[in-house]
Structure 1
């Protein structure tokens, strides 16, 4: 995976900062890919409709890079990482913002959906070995902050 852009602290220190983006497109195995893609498809579609494709692409890019920075700063494992679940957690961070700030605009189904995914994702993160907790938590935090910033910009500029 290192040849395909996996994220490694040593490689980042050696100046290969492009890995902060490329790691989000590769996966460590086909099963890893199969587990990530349905989550991204389910969570992405409504948000892309809400933001529009261009803004969503920018947000998606930030949701790859910033959790990657969290990994570089806080990941204690020795193995290189790849995958897009930091993005998935970032999308959950956006939904968490919506749940907390726009709760009166969401249906009961939407609220339950967000809560279910958040609880499931957190259980998964802390119960499965060799998962990048720092990448997942970094993604959740990043999504929440990006949505906070977007809401302010939308209110005053857009």
Structure 2
């Protein structure tokens, strides 16, 4: 969760604005004495089930809404993963996304397995688990939080950005 605290001026009161994962914003709103609307929970679940990433926005004790972010799964990726599978290569998507979003993206992309809400420590542990089984592990990552797992992997591929070329 991140946000901004706006200082009061002569023409406007101070405000605290936050955005982030539903669970984090819900906890914050409730800690401010507010309530978390059931409609927001429903919207978050709908977005996540569609493979989107829901970001909840709140100001003080009030939830303002939900932003729907959606990564585009590159065309042909499902077929490429099928080719890897045919060669005996297993693919696992490790993501910080919530389980509903991760499941939808994993199904759309055609990966063999996924790990959701993964911390950098969880990513590193998963790499080590696979290596302990005698597997050769390749890891692709695009963020600072991927650095420990990339360093541990037998092959680490760091991307500058996750955008499509």
TM range (shorter): under 0.3
With structure 2 as the length reference, what TM-score do the two structures score? 0.26
Structure with greater strand percent: 2
Structure with max Cα Rg? 2
Greater fraction helix: 1
